[in-house]
């Protein structure tokens, strides 16, 4: 079958404004969007720039916007889209565009760093004689956050990022903090909850659920954010309700 792709192009060395190029290629319904990008680059235009590495939904590097929705190009198939319509492929929204489909991830990692992932976990004052074990139930509390591949799709889909002029910490950073706050082996969850309460932190989240809808790892992002809000209320503001903060 023939597939037409309309792809965002921008070369900072030659272009003052972005534009779109359209390519029609031969593809199979089971081909992935990433296969199509490869085909364009290998057969039609070797200057097309995009990121990819694992090609199997593990590394998160090929996150792009497909028909306006953030997704991993290696996870979406041609048959997921209408065969009669052009497929629009653009860089992730809210990320500075570096070239074609490549974005600058520095602002994203700045958000992640703002929750202080490098804080040494205050695990125990008692000298350890063996590894710190978790029960399956304790591990299950952080399973979702551990699955995150830091692809950025949730941030590109989050309406609050736009509403708060890119100042909002974003769903991926809150999810990362959730991992530390709910880890049964750590004892610094109170400090970490205070970090999340900084301006443009967790209380900016309005539960639009867009992060959950687009997450390629099927993480219940919004649910984990709500659980974290409830824990903060319970432990730091017991006299308040979620809506009051």
Which residues contact ligand FES by CB under 6 A? 52-55, 57-62, 72, 74
- With CB under 6 A as the contact rule, the residue among 34, 40, 105, 153 that binds ligand SF4 is 153
- With CB under 6 A as the contact rule, the residue among 23, 75, 152, 168 that binds ligand SF4 is 152
CB-nearer residue toward ligand SF4: 40 or 148: 148
CB-nearer residue toward ligand FES: 53 or 85: 53
The DSSP code sequence of 32-74 is BHHHHHHHIIIII-TT-----SSSSSSS-TTEEEETTEEEETT
> How far apart are the C-alpha atoms of 98 and 174, rounded to whole Å?
26
CB-nearer residue toward ligand SF4: 149 or 232: 149
Q: How far is the CB of 5 from ligand SF4 (least distance, A)?
A: 23
CB-nearer residue toward ligand SF4: 148 or 181: 148
- Residue 9's beta-bridge partner residues? 19
How many residues touch ligand SF4 under the rule CB under 6 A: the total is: 16
The entry of ligand SF4, ligand FES, none near residue 61 (CB within 5 to 8 angstroms by kind) is ligand FES
157 contacts 64 by C-beta, under 8 angstroms: no
Footprint (CB under 6 A) of ligand SF4, residues 177-216? 215-216
Name the token pair of 235: 């432990």
> How far apart are the C-alpha atoms of 50 and 31, rounded to whole Å?
17
Does residue 172 bind ligand SF4 (CB under 6 A)? yes
Does residue 151 bind ligand SF4 (CB under 6 A)? yes
The entry of ligand SF4, ligand FES, none near residue 72 (CB within 5 to 8 angstroms by kind) is ligand FES
> How far apart are the C-alpha atoms of 114 and 224, rounded to whole Å?
18
In the chain, which residue ranges form alpha helices assigned H by DSSP?
A: 33-39, 106-113, 136-140, 143-147, 153-157, 159-163, 171-181, 189-196, 210-214, 221-236
The entry of ligand FES, ligand SF4, none near residue 153 (CB within 5 to 8 angstroms by kind) is ligand SF4
Q: What is the DSSP letter of 4?
A: E
């Amino acid at each position: 079958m023939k597939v037409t792709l309309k792809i965002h192009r921008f070369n900072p060395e030659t272009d003052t404004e972005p534009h779109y190029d359209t390519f029609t290629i031969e593809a199979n319904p089971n081909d992935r969007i990433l296969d199509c990008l490869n085909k364009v680059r290998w057969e039609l235009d070797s200057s097309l720039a995009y990121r990819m590495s694992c090609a199997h939904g593990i590394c998160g590097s090929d996150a792009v916007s497909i028909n306006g929705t953030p997704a991993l190009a290696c996870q979406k198939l041609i048959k997921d889209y209408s065969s009669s319509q052009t497929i629009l492929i653009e860089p992730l929204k809210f990320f500075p565009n570096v070239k074609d489909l490549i974005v600058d991830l520095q602002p994203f990692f700045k958000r992640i760093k703002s929750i202080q992932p490098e804080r040494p976990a205050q695990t125990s004052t008692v000298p350890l004689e063996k590894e710190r074990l978790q029960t399956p139930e304790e591990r299950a509390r952080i399973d979702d956050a551990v699955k995150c591949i830091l692809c950025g799709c949730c941030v590109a889909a989050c309406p609050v990022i736009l509403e708060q002029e890119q100042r909002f910490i974003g769903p991926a950073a809150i999810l990362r903090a959730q991992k530390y706050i709910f880890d049964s082996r750590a004892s610094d969850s109170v400090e970490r909850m205070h970090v999340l309460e900084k301006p443009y932190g967790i209380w900016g989240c309005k539960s639009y659920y867009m992060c959950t809808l687009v997450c390629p790892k099927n993480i219940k992002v919004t649910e984990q954010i709500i659980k974290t809000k409830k824990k903060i209320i319970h432990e730091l503001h017991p006299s308040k309700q979620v809506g009051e903060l």
